[in-house]
Each structure stands twice: as structure tokens, then as C-alpha cells.
Structure 1
Amino acid sequence: MPAPATPATSPDDESQPPRDVLLAVRSAAALHRLLDLLPVFDGDARVRCRFTLVPGSAFDADALSAVVSSGARCLSWPEAASRRHDLILTANPKGELAALRGPKVLLPHGAGFNKALADEGSPHLPSGLDPAFLLTEDARPIAALHALAHPDQVARLAAHCPPAEAAALVAGDPTLDRILLSLDRREAFRRALGTGSRRLVVLSSTWGPESLLTRHPGLPARLAARLPHDAYQLALVVHPNEYSRTGSFELARRLRPALDAGLVLAGPFEEWAALLVAGDTVVTDHGSTALYAAALDRPVVAVCDGGGELVPGSPMARLLAAAPRLDPSGDDAAAVLTAPAPPGPGTRRFAEAAFALPGEALATLGPELYALLGLVPPARPARPRPLTALPAAPRTPAAFAVLVRRAESNGEDPDTVTIDRLPPWTDRPYHHLAAEYGRAGIRQAQSAALLYRRATGAAAAPDAWHHEDRTAADWLDEALADHLGCRTAAVVLSPTRCLVRRLDGDPFTVLIEPHRAAGRVRRTDPAAVLSAVHARLGTGPAPDGPLTCRIDGTPYRAHLTMATEADLGQLV
């Protein structure tokens, strides 16, 4: 390791000008890697961080946008190349890095080296270990420090690019450390996402021709059409390069059916990591996200094999070889996603071959970076920042195709109804369509056998008083009269109370009990219970006792009573 060019100065020495740290970025993915490292300099006025965009990347537009949106100072490439920097940090060795003057520190931009790209560098060599990018024209290493996450990566670096081994350091992974630090936020993340007791299935797509979204672009929608909404929540993690290549508008357009069915779409920075913390299962291709999921011992299900891009014998190749397979048609999704884990060690063992020194990346790298800067590190140890960003909670779908199963055939209580709710465009046969008034389109509202709305509270803003209110009873009458397919109309008054009227009957109140077990209280969407009520009332008069609504295997008791004047008169 080269000696610092200037004498080391202590944190209390303010006589020296600040050291310039340049973050050289080629893509948004590389930028995010560097941002996870920057807490090593938190609170130190002796260090000044600036960014520049290394030309030549197909994904540089989003990288520049991400830098600008962060509020960081950005140097133009000519300006960055015209001066010497005290330290240059980069997470991608490609491009015109040789034009930048100053000691360079290279970090991986993924979980190891599991992918080989045939259209750049040396064919069949793992991306990130290619001498074509790691050495200068005179065969010297480009990096003064090559930070790696595991000793095996050092051995692979030595095998593919021997001159670079001398600069290698096993330092762990700053991104993994942020994820591990945030594990205690799982419950808060799930609450913010509205997951509840559902199984959160995270789909992960890398970029390129072998990615999940390229190979199986309809998979999110197919899974949404087969996995009941009240049992599963779907989320999608998309590689930042795919965001850059496709654009967020076009990506959302392609995913619109799945998004309308409740799919959570992660943004390209730390939202993906929060989904891993919150998630229960990861369905993946050969992208790095799968190894981060394995580091949390999450079950991993493979839907793509990586084709010629996957490096044989790599940690990712071993993980995918051992993972259960999901049929891209989605027909076996429920069985695969709920299958018990095989006996023995979980998926973490595959991540242990990719990540070393968990929790120690900043503590390991900090002294090395400060030595290159010629500064004495602060006495306060650097700590990673916990994850804070979450995807926006999805909107509840505005309409459902409802599958109904009655219990008489199983010898159970005839007043037990099992409900599965799927998107209206599912190819499975269903009992009735349920639509939310004011959110579903007019065709769905007119076709729905069950039409419901959710009551709203009084608005506080003075401008909002200039409107006409109606009572819940009036709205029930109008809904049944104005919508040809409507057989049951309902108003959700609260999470535990609804007002319901059949086309040929009087209104009544439905009181919903939460499910209590093992010290936990579980609630469900009242609209799901309304579908059970609608199905039961379609076969005869209201039950004498409580109606049991089984939703995601959980029984909820619904009590049907005569409607009260207070419920009838509530404003909606």
C-alpha cells in the first residue's frame, strides 16, 4: 500500500486545507455503493466529498440524476480530469478512470463476482475481475486499494489478475452491514407496507438479456393472478441499470396490471434492501439481491438460471443450483412458495461464501482510507446508517374477482365461508366481482355483484365544506338502484363495522371480530368479509349466529344485526 503523500494530521488540526475525495460514478448502482461507504467520513470537516460522472456508460443519465438529486457537488468530467485528487473512490473499474489523478480505491458493485458479460472486456471472465479493466496500459493496477468482501474473492482476483492482488483487502460489505443493522425494523417496514400477516414475496430482477423481467416480463402479473391478495403481497426489486435503460415511466407502464393488483415496486436505492428485511421469500434470477437475501437466511426460489452470464462455481451458481424452481407460468406458485424448507442449513451458507466480516466494513476500511488521505482517523468509530427509505405503500386494488368456498361439503359449520380475492382479470373461475365505489372504473362498478365504499371523516379545510353529504342509508339505496349488476351494497364504516343491504332486503350492520391467537391480534380488510357476507346471503336468510369468514386460513367472526339509526345516518 502506498504511503500517504502528506504528513498525517489529527482531527483537531484545522490548519491544513481539506482533503478532496472524488467519487467517480458510472451508474446509479455504483453511486449507491459509494453512498453506503461515505459514513466513514461523517462529521469530519477535514474531508470534502465531490462527485463526477465517468463518461462512456449506457447508464450515466440516471447516475447524474441521482447525484444531482442528492444535493452533492458535482464536477464536470473535464474539471475532474484536470486536477489531482487526494483520494478517488469508485465502484466500477470501467471507463476512463486512468484520466483521473490520485490514489484510487475500488469497491465491488455487487455481491461478489458471479456474472460474466460477453460483450465487454475479456470473454467469459467474471465482471469485476477482468485485467482489461483492472490494469493500466503498462500493466500496473489501477487501484491503490481493492476492497473485497471475502477471502475467496482475493483468491479469484489473484487467479485472474495477479498484479492486482497486492492491493487487495478483505473488508466485508458496507451494503450488507446496513441491511444487518436494520433487521430490527422488520415489523415497522411491514406495517408501513401494509403487509400485515400476508406472506411478502419479493421478486428480484437484475439487468440484461438473462434477467427475470427480460426472460419472463409477465411473471409479476401472472403471480398476482394466482396468489390470493389476502394471503400474499408481491414486491419487485429492479436493478438500477434496468431503471436507467427502460425509464421509470415505461417500467410502470409495463407493470401496470401487477401494480393495479397491489404490487410494491422498489425504487433503485435502498428500498430494495428494506424489502429484503420485510420479506418472507425471494424469487430471483442471478442478480446480487439473491445473495443478500441469503445472508438474511431468507428462502430463495429460482426462476432463471443466468444462462451464459452465470459464472460456474460462484456463490450465486451454488445458491441457484440448490434453490427450488418456480414455473414461469406461475401455476405452481402457491405450492412452491409455501413448501417447507428442507432439513439442514438454510440459504445463509451460500452467502457465507460471498461475505466476510459482517458488520465490520466501515471499521475495516476507515483506517485504510484515512491513511491514503494522510489523516488520523477520528476517535469515534464509523458506523453504517440503518435503512430508512421504503417504497410507497401500494394502493388496495379497486376491484376483485372473488372465489368462494362453502364448508358444507367438508362437514363443517354451513355458516363458514372461505374467501380468496384475485385481480378481476384472473383466468380462474370466480363467484362474484366486488368493486369499490369511486375507485373502480364504471364498467367494473356496473358489473359488480358487491359494490362497497369506505366512509370518510369530516374535512378540516374550510374549502372542503362546500359539498353535499349523503347518509350511508341513502347511498345504499342509490347504489342498488343505479348499478345494474349490484346485488349487495355496503359501506365500510370502520375496520370492525359495516353497513350492508341486499337488493331484496333491509339494511343491517356487520360487526367483525379480529382474530386473537398467541398474544397477537390480526385484522383483515373488511371488504373481504363483505364478500363472505354477500356469498352467504345469496343462499338464504341471514344466519342465526355468527358467520365465520375464513381469509388466508384465518377465521374471522362476523355478527349480523339490525342496522342502527347511527349507522344508517352516518355521512359518507
Structure 2
Amino acid sequence: MPPSDPWISAPICGNTPRDEAACPTMDTGSAGSGQRAAGSGQQAADDRSVLFAVRSAAALHRLLDTLPVFAGDRRIRRLFTLVPGSDFDIGALAAIERAGARTLPWAEACRRSFRLILAASPKGELHRLAGPLLLLPHGAGFNKTVPKEGSDGLASGLDPVHLLVDGQPLARVHALAHPSQLDRLAEHCPPAAARATVVGDPTLDRLLESAALREDYRAALGTGGRRLIVLTSTWGPESLLAARPGLPARLAAELPYDGYQLALVVHPNEYSATGGFDLAQELAPALGAGMVLARPHEEWAALLVAADAVITDHGSTALYAAALDRPVLTAADGGPELIPGSPMDRLLTHSPRLAGRESIDAALHAHRPGSARSLVQEAFAEQGRALELLRREVYAQLGLTPPPGPVTAAPLPRPGPPPQRPSAFAVRTHRQGDEVRVERFAAHLAPPAQHLAAEYGSAGERATHSAGLLYLRAGAAPAAEQGTGWTVDGWTRRILAERPACRMAAVILPSGECVARPRGAGLFSVRTEPRREPDGRLVFPDPAAALSAVYAAADRLPGDLTCGIGGHGHRVRVRPASAREAGRLLR
């Protein structure tokens, strides 16, 4: 590049001459304690530094989804800086640190110039940075206005207060996800619209690229044959968690454990404001019942791919869920923060309102392929091409030829670790002859039921002393060594002798088969057959649920039972246990 290149030779901020006093020399925010980029002062003419200007964790996550644009290009030097001024910058610092990125303190970033600057929020003093700015949307469209920030009733991505500096556009390129966004931008900020272009949404493309991994994600979550219901909460006073803080625990108490799995996606700003520790404490009742709390980066998206239905407020996460064709239910309407006529407003208007388990079942039953996706047609364009189109814009600004070959979104990683499993269940059974339907609820949330089932070694002392059914999940048999151990026969006898309230003691073997001893009876082998679905899948229930069916029909043993677990019918075969099963050594 010749020395006369305007992006290098002139010390500028944005598109206007830079006043040295405008860029402070004091370090007003270091982007974490990760690897600090070396050097200071004006960069050399052949330096290909690209600066990612990060204001919040949410903005950082958007920028990270664009990284495949530069994949394999050794000419590009990727640097990150934290734009000061956000109430949620602590979360951004932690997110940058986790990313392992090369970082610049804000003061140093202001002293240097860059071949290109990428940002996903127009807020903050981005005009102090020297170099052409490419601005990406902060979320899926422009749906939310923040009171007392900028112009009333406008999202920051449409607001001249944030998009113009001295009447001139802040960004050299304003990348949008849909032509309708360009129309709205032209209505509210024509100078910015003149520099806008539609490239699509890189985050949506990443979700679409990961769709084939849906079963893998569900396996990692331990979902099995259950319906995964994902709650999504944005940040602020109109968010789901602010408006209905008890909803996760209420749903965990209402939805049978074997039929439904709950997960919660919380906006990164809420993580930053509350802190992961306090958030987990506040949600402890639902988490103890098995709810999954998504980590703020990537895992939320994997949960949407894995979901069967989504319960939402006015946060744009629900637009991604609808684009994946997941049925959406509304739990909070956004109040004055929701912009009328926005894609999110239309989605909430046409989505059923949450009214307990019945409304969830109705939404799942009524869903037709393509029906949810049709509600968000005006939010996403160029699906599957976002990174390709963005790379074209980026390399045009860099004055470079892009690397050869296609650019593809990176599939989302598997979520994990598996969620906490309740150690004690309030069990409701409905028996008619040899047919038994079982519904289990986390005991700390549910009212008393037909019996309490507790896992020995995991449940507390109170639960194990009052449980009618006590079961042990046995590990692999230990190798012979000096010491003592229990056999299945000995352990079940011991439990019934030590726990007067216990009416049946059982062991779940690693194979999923069980051995149970009802009080006053002998040992029985319990084998539960998987259910074969019409599509060829086999559904395996939790053996502990089948044990509750055996408990309810103890007066009819031995024999076969038809057991309803989580909406699936399973054949349970109960036979006298063999000597080998009775003598099995427990770990």
C-alpha cells in the first residue's frame, strides 16, 4: 500500500481530523489481563491491524461470530479494546479474557490508527478511534428502546444521537441484516442509511450451520425423550426475570420432570449486572429441579437449536428461535421498551400467551413446519450468505484480496456439563389394573404426592428417612481388594431395616436394569423396555421412574406392567431376581 493511503497517513478519528486532547492519555479501561498487544504510537503503513471495539459482552459475542471472515489470513492482526462507559463493562472484560484475545487499553487504542474498526454497538466515544468503522447490529433487528438513552422510542442502531458525529455518519459501513432495516434507518437517519448495506446476520447463520447437531446437543443436555422448553430473558425492568421472577421455579413445579426439561437463557447484561454467583443463588430452586442455565456465550444458541419450544419476553433471542422454526410463547410484553411495528412486536402479537402447562402443550400440538419462521421474514435476509457478504465488505475496506475458498460459520460447541438431577421426587401415580402412569416433580418444589422417591447417597437425611422408595444408582463393580462391600441383597435388606418409612429399596445397575425389594417380599428384577417411536428412535426412560411404577403396583408382583412415563408408554417386566443379581457387588 503506498504511503499516501488515507487510512494510514492522516491521524484521524472516524472521518474527522483528530484532536489529540480528544483521546485521553490516561488508561480508562484495560481489556482484561490477557495478552497485551505490543507497540505504541502511529502504526506502520504495512500494518494490517483490525480493531474490535467492544462495549459489552453481548457486543463482543456478536463480533466473535464474525471471526471466520478473517480465518486463515496471516496478514491480519486482530486486536480488541474495551470502549468505556457501559454499566456492563465488567462482563465485557471477563468475556474478552475468556476469548484469549490480544488486547489494547482504550487510551492506547485512541493513540493509534487502524486499517479497520469493527463494532456491534454505536454507543460510547467510538469517534475517538482512528480508522474506518464497520458497524454491525447489536442484536436481531431494532426492536427495543432504552429509556433515557438517546431519542425516545428509537433503538440505538437507528438513532442519530448515536450514529452521527457533528452531522456526519460515525460508520464508514453500516451492515444490516434485512432490507426493511435499511428502510427504517433511512427514515430516522438518512446520512447513516447512505452508507448502509445488507449482509445478513452472521449469528443466525451460525445457528443454521449448527442445526444438524441438534440431537448431539440434546444428548449433551440429557434431554432424552423429554420436550426441551427454553425460557429467554433480556435485561432491564421489562425483562422476563424482572417482570416474573418466580416463573422458572413455578414451571419447574408444574411440568413433570420426565416429560419436560427446562432451560433459561439470560442476557449477558443481566449476567454482568447480577453476577453469575448471585444469579445461580436466585435461581437455585429451579436449578435444583434440573433447569439448565445457559452460559452467556454460544451455549444460549445451542439451546435454541436443541429446543422444542421457547418462552420469551421482548428480547431478540426469540427472533432467532422463530427463525429456527421453534414455537414461541410470550411471558412478558416489553412494555414501553418494545418498539411498535418492529419484528419482535409482530412476533409477540402473533404468538400465544403462556398460561401454564396446557398452553405449552397446545403450542407444541398446534405448531406446523414453517409457521414460526414465517413470522420473522422481515428480520433476516441473505440466510447462509452473511459471512460471505460481510467478508466482501471487510476486504474492500482493507484494500486486500480475501483468502481463497468459501467462508463458513463455525458450528456451536456442545453445551455442558449436564444439569443437576433432583435427588428426591414427589411422585404422583395413577393406576388402573396393570397400567400405571407416573409423574415426578422435584420434591423441594412440589406438594406431597402418593410417595416420595429419593436417591440414596445424593438426597439429604430428611428425604432418605421419609422416602417410601429409596434407590441407589450403582457404579461399576469394584475390583477385588481388601475391605468390605455390599451386595444388592444385603444393601436392600439393610435399608429396609434401618429406614422404617421405606416401603421399597432398589438398586439401579449400570445397564439400566434394576433390582427391587418391596417390604415383606423378595427381590425382583425390573427391566424396562424402550419405546420405539414412528421415526425409528428408541426412547429410554429413567429407570428410577419405572421403579415408582413398580412401587405403586407392589401388590401385583411379579408380572408385567404398562408404565406411562413422560407421555411415552413402556413395558416393564418384573421377575424374581436371580442369585447372580442378588449377589451383585455394589461400589
CA distances 1:448-506 after superposition (whole Å, capped 9, x unpaired):
1000001111468xxx9676321111111121122232110000014442111112111
C-alpha separation between the residues in 2 aligned to 1:121 and 1:164?
Answer: 16
Contact 2:7 2:115 in 1 (8 A): no
C-alpha separation between the residues in 1 aligned to 2:186 and 2:492?
Answer: 74
CA distances 1:368-395 after superposition (whole Å, capped 9, x unpaired):
1112112111222222111114142113
Partner of 1:457: 476
Contact 1:265 1:391 in 2 (8 A): no
1:364 equivalenced with 2:394 (yes/no): no
Please give the secondary structure, in 1, of the residue aligned with 2:168: coil
Partner of 2:34: none
Q: Aligned match of 1:448 in 448, 467, 492?
A: 467
CA distances 1:188-244 after superposition (whole Å, capped 9, x unpaired):
111111111111101000110011111111111110111111111111111111110
C-alpha separation between the residues in 1 aligned to 2:343 and 2:239?
Answer: 18
Partner of 2:169: 141
Distance 1:465 1:141, change over 3 A: farther
Aligned-pair RMSD on alpha carbons? 1.9
Contact 1:4 1:371 in 2 (8 A): no
Q: Aligned match of 1:270 in 282, 293, 298?
A: 298
- The unaligned stretches of length 5 or more in structure 1 are 8-14, 408-413
- The unaligned stretches of length 5 or more in structure 2 are 9-43
Partner of 2:100: 71
Distance 1:465 1:62, change over 3 A: farther
Partner of 2:439: 420
Partner of 2:366: 340
How far residue 313 of structure 1 moved from its aligned partner, in angstroms, is 0.5
1:510 equivalenced with 2:526 (yes/no): yes
Partner of 1:411: none
How far residue 571 of structure 1 moved from its aligned partner, in angstroms, is 1.5
Please give the secondary structure, in 2, of the residue aligned with 1:44: coil
**Bigger CA drift: 466-475 or 351-360?**
466-475
C-alpha separation between the residues in 2 aligned to 1:26 and 1:369?
Answer: 21
Contact 1:495 1:526 in 2 (8 A): no
1:82 equivalenced with 2:107 (yes/no): no
The letter of the residue matching 2:441 is: L
C-alpha separation between the residues in 2 aligned to 1:90 and 1:238?
Answer: 22
Partner of 2:67: 38
Partner of 1:569: 583
Q: Aligned match of 2:315 in 275, 279, 287?
A: 287
Please give the secondary structure, in 2, of the residue aligned with 1:128: helix
How far residue 396 of structure 1 moved from its aligned partner, in angstroms, is 2.0
Contact 2:423 2:454 in 1 (8 A): yes
1:173 equivalenced with 2:201 (yes/no): yes
How far residue 516 of structure 1 moved from its aligned partner, in angstroms, is 2.5
Please give the secondary structure, in 2, of the residue aligned with 1:237: strand
Please give the secondary structure, in 2, of the residue aligned with 1:184: helix
Partner of 1:12: none
1:490 equivalenced with 2:490 (yes/no): no
C-alpha separation between the residues in 2 aligned to 1:517 and 1:126?
Answer: 47
Q: How does 1:83-482 map to 2 (within 5 A)?
A: 83-136=112-165, 138-327=166-355, 330=356, 332-341=358-367, 346-407=371-432, 414-458=433-477, 468-482=484-498
Distance 1:447 1:438, change over 3 A: same
C-alpha separation between the residues in 1 aligned to 2:510 and 2:382?
Answer: 49
Please give the secondary structure, in 2, of the residue aligned with 1:402: strand
Please give the secondary structure, in 2, of the residue aligned with 1:32: helix
C-alpha separation between the residues in 1 aligned to 2:203 and 2:360?
Answer: 31
Contact 1:18 1:45 in 2 (8 A): no
C-alpha separation between the residues in 2 aligned to 1:344 and 1:485?
Answer: 50
Please give the secondary structure, in 2, of the residue aligned with 1:152: helix
Distance 1:474 1:53, change over 3 A: same
Contact 1:53 1:76 in 2 (8 A): yes
TM-score, length-scaled by structure 2: 0.90
C-alpha separation between the residues in 2 aligned to 1:517 and 1:300?
Answer: 25
1:22 equivalenced with 2:51 (yes/no): yes
C-alpha separation between the residues in 1 aligned to 2:214 and 2:482?
Answer: 43
1:559 equivalenced with 2:573 (yes/no): yes
How far residue 17 of structure 1 moved from its aligned partner, in angstroms, is 3.6
Q: Percent identity?
A: 55
How far residue 126 of structure 1 moved from its aligned partner, in angstroms, is 2.0
Contact 1:270 1:389 in 2 (8 A): no
C-alpha separation between the residues in 1 aligned to 2:54 and 2:369?
Answer: 42
CA distances 1:96-125 after superposition (whole Å, capped 9, x unpaired):
111111100100010000001112111111
CA distances 1:152-208 after superposition (whole Å, capped 9, x unpaired):
101111111111111101000000000011111111111111111111101000110
Contact 2:58 2:268 in 1 (8 A): yes
Contact 1:24 1:90 in 2 (8 A): yes
Distance 1:433 1:16, change over 3 A: same
C-alpha separation between the residues in 1 aligned to 2:363 and 2:417?
Answer: 24
C-alpha separation between the residues in 1 aligned to 2:120 and 2:410?
Answer: 19
Distance 1:444 1:429, change over 3 A: closer
C-alpha separation between the residues in 2 aligned to 1:509 and 1:75?
Answer: 65
C-alpha separation between the residues in 2 aligned to 1:109 and 1:84?
Answer: 24
How far residue 520 of structure 1 moved from its aligned partner, in angstroms, is 2.6
Please give the secondary structure, in 2, of the residue aligned with 1:214: helix
TM-score, length-scaled by structure 1: 0.92
C-alpha separation between the residues in 2 aligned to 1:338 and 1:28?
Answer: 33
